[in-house]
Amino acid sequence: MAKIDKDLKRLQRLETGVQSLSRQLVPVGIAVTFLAMIGVAAGTLSGVHTGWALFVAASIIGGYMALNIGANDVANNMSPAVGSRALTITTAVIAAAVFEAAGAIIAGGEVVSTVASGIIDPAMMPSSQIFAYAMMSALLAAALWINLATWLGAPVSTTHSIVGAVLGAGIVVAGFEAADWSVIARIVASWVISPVTGGLIAAGFLFYIDRTILDRKNKLEAARFQVPILVGIMAGTFSTYLILKGLARIMPTPLELAILAGAAIGVASWFLVRPFIARTLEGKENRKASVGELFTIPVICGACLLSFAHGSNDVANAIGPLAAIYMAITEGVTDGAAPLPTWILLIGALGISLGLLLFGPKLIRTVGSKITKLNRVRAYCVTLSAGITVIIASTLGMPVSSTHVAIGALFGVGFLREGIANNGKSKKKPKEKDANRKTRYLVRRGHVVTIVSAWVITVPATGLLSAAIAFTMTVLF
């Protein structure tokens, strides 16, 4: 009898393992099917005759890149809402997929630059065919790197990934003189500037909210005055952000006009939201939780707008090189602008959304809850910081990564809380107790090391991998 029981337990464990493996393979199967459909679409809809196989392969790789962008990069937009429990993981993933696709399709642009970010000079390419090989190598290298980073649970910049990959492939096929090293220098500088700026802004807003609302004796009265101002700031910021980054390709707007329009919307929002906040606070208890509930809608709206703007901008990381390959194969052109067929745009839009739905939840949980603990107020600060930092960068003409800004904002919020917890409270205790008091760590150091390491090696890693692929392709073909 005992032997039968042991055999039954073994069978149960085996069945559980098979079910778990099956659940893990379903997303992979759906992704493979999606890539196969892209191959069929590229072969039938593109109208490409010469270089047909090359373009089909490039389209599949472009879809693979889009899947990886959705799995990795989108987590930065929705993780504060999930970490603060303003949204469930399921709702957040669905909302992000919808807004990412909408941003890519509506504002993704009808023209995509043939060379990502002006990293290399296309005029120095030996031929249009070799240029196509270089772009395909860049797509594949960037996609493989982002896939690895997602598997490791490290959010990386998809923009920096494709930049490094284009640089590596370009140097191999056209030499070091083809690279624009001034752009590379600005990108390297942004590794420090982006997260530090995002962290300082997020920490600054959290400190302000703590001092003006949460630390006050009458929190509700303070919130009645301060929260409409904060909502107005967020509304104005994201209006400006959306005009600059989300709608730039369908409604180009000068920076000054975008800021002015954002300021007007912010003032209008402040005026309209005041009575709503006053009614909401009626009958509420004088607690921090009551104040935190007021930030739920701003956090959700901010996350959705970030996703829309991200879809409109970062879809180019997947289809920009693909559009370049299309022009190189069909027109023999390696510079200028590539008219973007609708079906190519759909590859990027659907790929990003599908990648998010299938593989995004893992990184959303990591960013939202495993770096530092979030509530609605902290999530508001992180989300707002992302928008403000991008606007500042646009004003200064600096390239920034939305990934670096968002993660930097999380670090800023976490380290501020840590500093207050360790230094602020110790002043209230006798010196002899302080000596035995343990330091509280509210930011997980292991994640900090993993993420920063991934950031630092992204450009060289994708550059070297892309160079190896480009060299192999030019030798073989």
pLDDT in tens, 156-169: 988 889 989 999 99
* pLDDT > 70 fraction of the chain, expressed in percent and rounded: 85
CB-based contact 114:435 (threshold 8 Å): no
Is the Cβ–Cβ distance between 120 and 167 less than 8 Å? yes
Phi-psi region of 87 (alpha: psi -120 to 50; beta: other; left: phi over 0): beta
Q: How far apart, in whole angstroms, are the C-alpha atoms of residue 196 and residue 355?
A: 29
**What pLDDT is attached to residue 109?**
54
Quote the pTM value.
0.86
Mean pLDDT, the chain, whole residue set: 84
Do residues 378 and 418 make contact, with C-beta atoms less than 8 angstroms apart? Answer: no
Phi/psi for 51 (5° steps) reads 80, 25
Q: Is the pLDDT of residue 208 over 70?
A: yes
Read off the pLDDT of residues 437-477 as tens digits, 9 standing for 90 and up: 567 788 888 888 888 888 889 999 999 999 999 999 988 87
Question: With 50 as the cut, is the pLDDT of residue 426 above it?
Answer: no
Contact (CB, 8 A) for 63 and 38: yes
Question: Do the Cβ atoms of 442 and 421 come closer than 8 Å?
Answer: yes
Rounded to whole angstroms, the Cα distance separating 296 from 414 reads: 20
DSSP 179: B
Q: Enumerate residues 6+ apart whose C-beta is below 8 A from 291.
A: 213, 214, 219, 220, 223, 227, 377
Residue 108: predicted pLDDT: 67
Of the given ranges (12-26, 245-259, 293-307), which has the lowest mean pLDDT?
A: 12-26
Please report the pLDDT score of residue 15 as a whole number: 55
Least confident of 192-201, 247-256, 360-369: 247-256
Structure tokens at 27: 């997303």
- 137: three-class secondary structure by DSSP: helix
Higher pLDDT, 247 or 72: 72
User: What is the predicted pLDDT for the residue at 440?
Assistant: 76
Per-residue pLDDT at 10: 65
Q: Is the dihedral of CA 91, 144, 410, 74 positive or negative?
A: negative
The angle at the Cα of 375, spanning 372 to 381, to the nearest 5 degrees, equals: 85
Residue 471 is which amino acid?
F
Q: Cα separation of 95 and 99, whole Å?
A: 6
> Predicted confidence band at 428 (pLDDT cuts at 50, 70, 90)?
very low
| Strand partners of residue 178 | none
> Per-residue confidence at 276, pLDDT binned at 50, 70, 90?
very high
Which distant-in-sequence residues (6+ apart) come within 8 Å of 285 by Cβ?
Answer: none
pLDDT of residue 111: 42
Distance CA 5, CA 18 (A): 20
116 pLDDT above the threshold of 60: no
Query: Rounded to whole angstroms, how far apart are CA atoms 179 and 467?
Result: 13
- The percentage of residues in the chain with a pLDDT greater than 90, rounded to a whole number, is 44
Name the more confident of 168 and 109.
Answer: 168
